[in-house]
Copies of this chain bind each other. A is one copy, B any other.
Amino acid sequence: MNFLSDTTAPAHPALIEAIARANEGFAPSYGADAISARVEARLKELFETDLKLVFAVSGTAANALALSVLCPSDSMVLCHDEAHIHRDERGAPEFFTGGGKLLPLPGAHAKIDASALEDALNQWPADFVHAPPPAVLSLSQLNEAGCAYTLDEIAQLIEPARAAGLKIHMDGARFASALAGLGCSPAQLTWKSGVDVLCLGATKTGALAAEAVILFPSVMDRFATLQARQKRSGHMAPKMRYIAAQLDAWLADDLWLTLARDASCAARRLSDGLARIEGVSLAHPVDGNEVFARLDGSVAARLQAAGAGFYAWPDGSARFVASWCTREDEITALLEAAAG
């Protein structure tokens, strides 16, 4: 009954096998290997566009690298108040941007409120030398409440942001989950919606440690800078083939979407079950593999007594995360423990 985090889950065996297969003979280092090239080609197909990318071993690194080529040091990133980049990355964006600022915006279910965005754009104009101007709008997909922005919701935020000259960053640590749920194409969810840079995370969906920072054509001219910063931040791993191999296997035969769908199915079974239990109310819609629930004292006590693994969220709710490998019997056991 481990629902603590998808980062405590093991990797999918196909990725371990891919690493073992990649371990043959010599290969060019620092990303010039054949597997890296194959992943790049596959991503171009999947996203139906030219693109450039670098790999990283954590979502924090991917986000910070992405923001570092979008946000000058004297400028600002607009994000939700609960955004991972604001709350859970120890100031990595501030570090990588050389002292850029993050402006936290409110909104229900960890989605930025469109009028709060409008206010921020008005209050922090582009040409006021005394204040950091907004340079980036950052959206998390899934977001930190486990919710996915719909294409319409994305458009409502991206359009005014782009009109004000901002670039758009998407934190896709759980992008596969969002995509699987929304049923649109990767292209629609990103560059066709105005996203400039996607941080595509595999780690939370079955990889060991593999993330990609993807520059779409609108910002591909910043690729040399991105590579320089990847090196400068210690994220240009010498033997890159082992990261590439993970992504290669993850993207093959739509494994990434299968893993995401399995985790989301498990989350839905869990949330449906929890919703029926007295003393439990869901805090947010369940759009992916995360369930946030408010538990009354007796439910929480029963779960703890049963040894259920979940996380006490700062807002007072309980977070349950399903993984690609969550088993039916674990869900049943958790629901039984909760129901008492």
B contact residues around A203 at 8 Å (CB):
238-239
A256-307 interface (Cβ within 8 A of B): none
A233 within 8 A of B: yes
B contact residues around A239 at 8 Å (CB):
7, 11, 203, 208-209
With A20-B16, A238-B58, A238-B203 known as contacts, the answer to whether A95 contacts B7 (CB < 8 A) is no
User: In the complex, which range does the number of interface residues on chain A fall in?
Assistant: 35 or more
B contact residues around A65 at 8 Å (CB):
234
Copies in the complex: 4
| A37-45, A128-136, A143-151, A159-167 - the one binding chain B | A128-136
Could you list 21 A-B pairs, sorted by A, with CB under 8 Å?
Answer: A7-B30, A7-B238, A10-B25, A10-B26, A11-B242, A16-B19, A57-B235, A57-B237, A59-B238, A60-B236, A61-B234, A65-B234, A88-B131, A89-B231, A89-B232, A90-B228, A91-B232, A99-B99, A209-B243, A233-B234, A234-B235
Chain A interface residues toward B at CB < 8 A: 2, 4-5, 7-11, 13, 16, 19-20, 23-30, 56-62, 64-65, 72-76, 87-92, 94-95, 97-102, 104, 123, 129-132, 203-204, 208-209, 224-225, 227-229, 231-239, 242-243, 309, 314
